[in-house]
Amino acid sequence: MSPPPSELAALREATLEQVRAALAEAVTPDRGLLQGVRALDEALEAENRLAERLARWAAEAAGAARQPPAAELLPDAPEPLRELQVAWRESGARGERLRDWLEAQAPDVAPSLAALLGPLLAARVIAAAGSLPRLARLPGSTIQTLGAERALFAHRGGGAPPPKHGLLLAHPLVRDAPRRERGRMARRLAAKAAIAARVDCYGGEPCGAELLAALGSDDPVK
Amino acid sequence: MSPPPSELAALREATLEQVRAALAEAVTPDRGLLQGVRALDEALEAENRLAERLARWAAEAAGAARQPPAAELLPDAPEPLRELQVAWRESGARGERLRDWLEAQAPDVAPSLAALLGPLLAARVIAAAGSLPRLARLPGSTIQTLGAERALFAHRGGGAPPPKHGLLLAHPLVRDAPRRERGRMARRLAAKAAIAARVDCYGGEPCGAELLAALGSDDPVK
């Protein structure tokens, strides 16, 4: 015997309610960071590709050697070549605006992490982890090599040396350290990033500046 | 003993003259077609990538299922998402203008081939060969599989069946033929394309319409 129509309707409504709740949970503010970081990478890639095509075509049209993409085009350059240059400039400007937006958003989503890593790098690390809650569950050693997945697989599969840093290499404390100190600095920064991510995810008091100061003060590099 | 400076200067001038001549020869009108075809393919790829990112981000921002890229954005959509939609529209419009330009150029560069294949397909075939002079040196059997290089390598290396058509599948005579007739039609069309390319390259009288008529009239498909 099938249930009466009123029970089916109630069941349907309850199911819909569950789906709505799951969606609302999925759309946390850090999702915007993830999409923004991917859109930024794609804009940079598009900009490079346009620059490459533009440089080649311009060189051929001028019968000259390779030209920089910003070089002024000859008066008789074909129209699509002019449009390539416009598209290249626009792609670059769009990337800039995306970067500005990410830098404005990241401190709202993850204030401690943004203070520790800088807002753009914080956004990249969150995006690499998939979300802020996922990042908050990762150990420092995993955060240390986020963005170096390819090198990590090469290490596991083929005996290559383990990667010492991934995205965190972009941080001044790592980047500007002497080469042989970089691995150690990346490990310490990753440990602080793990703390910052947990504080940001579970609503603690922002502590990025303190974490950064602790790193700098007892470190001979700085 | 080294030659006197006046001889060195003359040698230098002669060398430069040779380089200039080589460059002038390299910059034939068909080079523009090649660059244009590649720019068109890159514009289509960029358009697809923007559409993909836009659809995903819009769906997440709206907490809804996947959205078509042209869907109107919610009033509170983030600014970079709006810019993605603008960039997607512009990329599509740029592709359209590139296509129009290629269709206008191809009959100037290769009138017979443009009449036989249609101007856009003619431009694609010239670009796939590398240039009109190179296309004019290819046998029909190679023209038949231009654009199917991957399938051709699979055939040679791994015993896969040989490809029956590459770019030429876009021609109505091939595309609209019954499936088992397509290979034969592609072979006949490629043979005519080889003739058209030679006539265009060596400055003969345009003959595309005649070649096309010959294909159509004695073919049971049409």
Boundary residue ending a domain (A88, A109, A130): A109
Which residues from A are below 8 Å from B17, CB to CB?
A: none
What are phi and psi for residue A177, nearest 5 degrees? -75, 155
The Cα-based distances of B15 to A146, A149, B18, B22 in angstroms read: 54, 51, 5, 11
The Cα-based distances of A24 to A15, A28, B32, B59, B62 in angstroms read: 14, 7, 51, 12, 9
- Structurally, chain A folds into a number of domains equal to 2
Q: Are A109 and A30 in contact (CB under 8 A)?
A: yes
Q: Are residues B220 and B163 in the same domain?
A: yes
Q: Are B155 and B162 in contact (CB under 8 A)?
A: yes
What are phi and psi for residue B199, nearest 5 degrees? -60, -45
Q: Are residues B119 and B96 in the same domain?
A: no
> Domain range for residue B28?
8-109
Report chain A's mean pLDDT, rounded to a whole number: 88
- Cβ distance of B27 and A101 shorter than 8 Å: no
**How far A168 CA sits from the closest chain B CA (Å)?**
25
Residue A1 domain flag: no
Tell me the C-alpha distance between A221 and A188, whole Å: 13
Give me the average pLDDT of each 10-residue run along chain B (222 residues).
74 78 64 94 96 92 81 88 95 96 96 97 96 95 89 80 86 93 94 97 92 73 37
pLDDT higher than 80, residue A101? yes
pLDDT higher than 80, residue A70? yes
Note the pLDDT tens digit of each residue in A83-100.
Answer: 999 999 999 999 999 999
Q: For the whole model, what pTM was predicted?
A: 0.81
Residue A32 in contact with partner chain B when CB distance is under 8 A: yes
Residue B90 in contact with partner chain A when CB distance is under 8 A: yes
Q: Are residues B172 and B144 in the same domain?
A: yes
Q: Are residues A66 and A115 in the same domain?
A: no
> pLDDT exceeding 90 applies to what percent of chain A?
64
What is the predicted pLDDT for the residue at B219? 46
Boundary residue ending a domain (B109, B144, B162): B109
Which of A117, A94, A111 lies closest to A36, judged by CA?
A: A94
pLDDT higher than 60, residue A24? no
What is the predicted pLDDT for the residue at B220? 41
Tokens matching residue A43: 């804009």
Give SS3 for B198.
Answer: helix
Give SS3 for B164.
Answer: coil
Which residues are within 8 A (CB) of A111 and not within 5 positions of it... i.e. 6 or more apart? Answer: A200, A206, A208
Q: Are residues A132 and A213 in the same domain?
A: yes
Note the pLDDT tens digit of each residue in A106-161.
Answer: 999 999 999 999 999 999 999 999 999 999 999 999 999 998 887 888 888 877 88
Going A14 to A19 to A20 to A21, the CA torsion angle's sign is positive
Residue A2 domain flag: no
DSSP symbols for B122-143 = HHHHHHHHSSHHHHHTS-HHHH
